[in-house]
Amino acid sequence: MIQNLDGLIEQYRSELFDSVLPFWLENSIDKEYGGYFTCLDREGKVFDTDKFIWLQGREVWMFAMLYNKVAPRKEWLDAAVKGAEFLKKHGHDGNYNFYFSTTREGEPLVEPYNIFSNTFATMAFGQLAKATGSKEYEEIALKAWNKVLERRDNPKGKWNKLHPGTRNLKNFALPMILCNLSLEIQHLLDENAFKRTTDDFLHEVCDVFIRPELGGLVMENVLSDGTLCDCFEGRHMNPGHAIEAMWFIMDLGEKLGRPELIEMAKDTAIRMAEYGWDKEFGGIYYFMDLKGCPPQELEWDQKLWWVHIETLISMIKGYRLTGDKRCLEWFERVHDYVWTHFKDAEHPEWFGYLNRRGEVLLPLKGGKWKGCFHVPRGLYQVWRTLEAIKAEGKSL
């Protein structure tokens, strides 16, 4: 159960600065080749040295963001630059198409088929440009960003295995990430470009993927004409994804002064949390099927760290911005689940992968998809939002 506001603020702040960040600073930096190790076991020991570009970019972003927003600590800037220099030299094909992965030394392993490598590189260089004032980093951020916009209609390019024309689906992930990314690099965009792209992404998320005929549920894939498709991809539901997107929308709503956006995002987040909650074992399912058919993903019932941490952020932001008590109830429910299931009582950083019952499925602290990102970003966001609630004289 949630204690007083001050205690809660301290819980999130201390977990971030005294436990999680030291874990990554101590274990993840590759002093020999630059960049970061992300495959770290329960105690922080490296078990694989491949470098996954999503996670390289995200860790650069994390340390640069802390430097920009919390305190200009040299060790944070050094850590961010260590990753950015690796990405600059080894992370892309020479044309700012960022690879999916490289070897420890920086040899390309998996081609730039995945556009999110570019979105996270954009975030990384955008924040680091702010921290350093470097024109070079600014240019890399914009080049990576422009590739995202260019590739938007066929993100996988020549690696796309779908036969063109038969069933053209569009996916929620890209406009969702772009809602966040446009805010992230607003300082690099002119006002018109920011407004145009943001309106565009917001329209996609709010008018295409959120479905009034389904009571406001958020779909992951719809046909290119905006209609629903009764196929595996078309029935695929990802509650955590939808809930995460809603705090991006709340941030945009605050920035743009559009309270109706915030209200809609808060209601949608609550709806998707209710939809995704496992009433038997607790926690939010990873994937579901709109019609209750067997999903194609065998990991559908697992409980993943990022899903729950993003829910904490959306709920505490929703509460702060709207005062809706249901947000607070959801925050409490997920807070209890997270601190009793994902937090490792014996070693720093959190577990990432639990089975349906909430038991640890993989004891890793970092891997191919889990890096220095969702846990520290979530702790930061919740900590800051709780501080704002306090500063605004509200209570829990």
**Stretch touching its own copies by CB under 8 A, among 101-109, 126-134, 241-249, 378-386:** 101-109
Out of 72, 226, 323, 363, the only residue in the binding site for its own copies (CB under 8 A) is 363
Residue 257 is a binding residue for its own copies (CB under 8 A): no
Site for its own copies in 290-309 (CB under 8 A): 291, 293-296, 298-299, 301-302
Out of 231, 274, 336, 394, the only residue in the binding site for its own copies (CB under 8 A) is 231
Q: Name residues whose C-beta falls within 8 Å of residue 151's C-beta, 6 or more positions apart in sequence.
A: 115, 118, 157
**Stretch touching its own copies by CB under 8 A, among 25-33, 61-69, 203-211, 354-362:** 354-362
Closest CA to 97 of 120, 74, 121, 118: 118
Burial class (CB in 10 A: 0-12, 13-18, 19+), 323: exposed
238 DSSP assignment = -
Tell me the C-alpha distance between 396 and 381, whole Å.
16
Query: Least separation, in Å, of the C-beta of 238 and its own copies?
Result: 14
Query: Least separation, in Å, of the C-beta of 316 and its own copies?
Result: 28
Minimum CB distance to its own copies smaller for 49 or for 68: 49
Query: Least separation, in Å, of the C-beta of 343 and its own copies?
Result: 18
Out of 85, 111, 278, 324, the only residue in the binding site for its own copies (CB under 8 A) is 111
Rounded to 5°, the CA angle 247-396-3 comes to 110
Site for its own copies in 376-395 (CB under 8 A): none
Query: Least separation, in Å, of the C-beta of 256 and its own copies?
Result: 38
Tell me the backbone φ, ψ of residue 156, rounded to 5 degrees: -85, -10
Chain center to CA of 251: 14
358 DSSP assignment = S
CB 170 within 8 A of CB 227: no
Tell me the C-alpha distance between 153 and 299, whole Å.
29
Residue 339 is a binding residue for its own copies (CB under 8 A): no
Chain center to CA of 109: 24
Out of 30, 43, 48, 200, the only residue in the binding site for its own copies (CB under 8 A) is 48
Query: Least separation, in Å, of the C-beta of 285 and its own copies?
Result: 12
Minimum CB distance to its own copies smaller for 253 or for 276: 276
280: helix, strand or coil: coil
294 DSSP assignment = P
**Stretch touching its own copies by CB under 8 A, among 29-37, 245-253, 265-273, 349-357:** 349-357
Minimum CB distance to its own copies smaller for 166 or for 395: 166
Beta bridge partners of 354: 303, 360
Residue 224 is a binding residue for its own copies (CB under 8 A): no
Out of 33, 113, 194, 281, the only residue in the binding site for its own copies (CB under 8 A) is 113
Find where tokens 């990991």 sit: 299
Residue 219 is a binding residue for its own copies (CB under 8 A): no
**Rounded (10°) CA dihedral 312, 203, 230, 245:** -10
Burial class (CB in 10 A: 0-12, 13-18, 19+), 203: exposed
Residue 285 is a binding residue for its own copies (CB under 8 A): no
Tell me the backbone φ, ψ of residue 15, rounded to 5 degrees: -60, -40
Minimum CB distance to its own copies smaller for 45 or for 73: 45
User: Mask 161-200, x = binds its own copies (CB under 8 A)?
Assistant: xxx--xx---------------------------------
Residue 1 is a binding residue for its own copies (CB under 8 A): no
How many chain residues interact with its own copies (CB under 8 A)? 42
331: helix, strand or coil: helix
- Residues in contact with its own copies by CB under 8 A are 39, 41, 47-48, 50, 99-100, 103, 107-111, 113, 158-159, 161-163, 166-167, 230-232, 291, 293-296, 298-299, 301-302, 353, 355-356, 361-364, 367-368
